[in-house]
Amino acid sequence: MLIIPIKDGENIDRALKRYKRKFDKTGTVRQLRSRQAFIKPSVVRRAQVQKAAYIQNMKDGLES
């Protein structure tokens, strides 16, 4: 459970923004979405390698 202490006279919008930022940092939504379906470890590794190759290709293209 996330606890966000609200200071005296603090705007509710600012407190809500702090809550949203803290919630995003916990990664709860990402974890729930990843657990919806099982993905084999080999498929996960393959996707990571493909992503790394794509990023490296983009960086190489910008340098030249």
pLDDT tens track, the chain, 64 positions:
888 999 899 999 999 999 999 999 999 999 999 999 999 999 999 999 999 999 999 999 887 6
Phi/psi for 37 (5° steps) reads: -140, 145
Q: How far apart are CA 43 and CA 7, in angstroms?
A: 47
Q: Distances from the Cα of 59 to the Cαs of 13, 16, 45, 46, 49, in angstroms?
A: 39, 37, 21, 20, 15
Q: What is the pLDDT of residue 20?
A: 93
CB 15 within 8 A of CB 4: yes
Decide: residue 19, CB within 10 A, 0-12 exposed, 13-18 middle, 19+ buried.
Answer: middle
